[in-house]
Amino acid sequence: GCPAPLLRPALDAGHVHGESGLGGAVLPAPPHGPRDGHAIDFIIAEIAAAPGEITLVATGPLTNIALAVRREPRLPEWVRDFVIMGGSAGRGNVNPAAEYNIWADPEAAAIVFSAGWSVRMIGLDVTLRARATAAVQERMRSFGKLGSELMLPALAQYADSNDSTGEPPVHDVCAVVSVIEPSVFTYTPALVRVETTGTWTSGMTVTDFEATGSPNALVATDIDADKFWDVVLGTYGSLAGSMDQRP
């Protein structure tokens, strides 16, 4: 059977991403509702059907990934790659020690990091340097409706806990770009353990770059921010014309 959920009470993410998850951007109503079934079963079924072909990307707390690995321990053997936006080799953003996605369910993160795969960890060490600067936002403005109705409104109400500049970092986008263009980031092998019981450090990703044991992660330690934005804006720019043609 499915183990009990591993979640603990978490911060209200609405104050960061807005109630819709997209800040001030307003999207049309979706044509379909949620699919039947549980996310855990969907993850397992999709990866089992195409072993070695799917890169799994997690941009939130790792509860469902941990439960999927518990239900199907062969999952780490079947994925092509596993990338998370989460953690930090330095300081956190929920508290001095922990990054939000790990802090929200550190027990799940501990399961995931010990599951037998190499976790590609895109953490705060690099995501805080992927900032939507004034120059980047000006490039977005040139995208017509895509910029004015989606990208810029989303950024305008994005209240990152470490940002007061009006140039917020786009954390989750980093995980996706790392799959599209891995050379944007520099990685260092490390042994990452997740603190689950510390009074002040619960959720900390304790990162040992000089561990004598086998590394369980590739930790992003540097980012080419210019190349990052060239990939992101190049992708969005290719879609801008089609969006302008819509009513």
Kindly report the CA angle at 39 between 191 and 170, in degrees rounded to 5?
A: 55
Q: Do 193 and 113 contact (CB within 8 A), yes or no?
A: yes
Q: State residue 241 phi and psi, 5-degree precision.
A: -60, -40
Distance CA 128, CA 170 (A): 8
Whether 171 is a known active-site residue: answer yes
Residues near 166 by beta carbon (within 8 Å), at least 6 away in sequence: 134
Active-site residue, selected from the candidate residues 17, 32, 38, 171: 171
Positive or negative torsion for Cα 220, 226, 227, 229: positive
DSSP conformation letters of 13-42: THHHH-TTSSTT---PPPSS-PPSS-HHHH
Active site members: 171
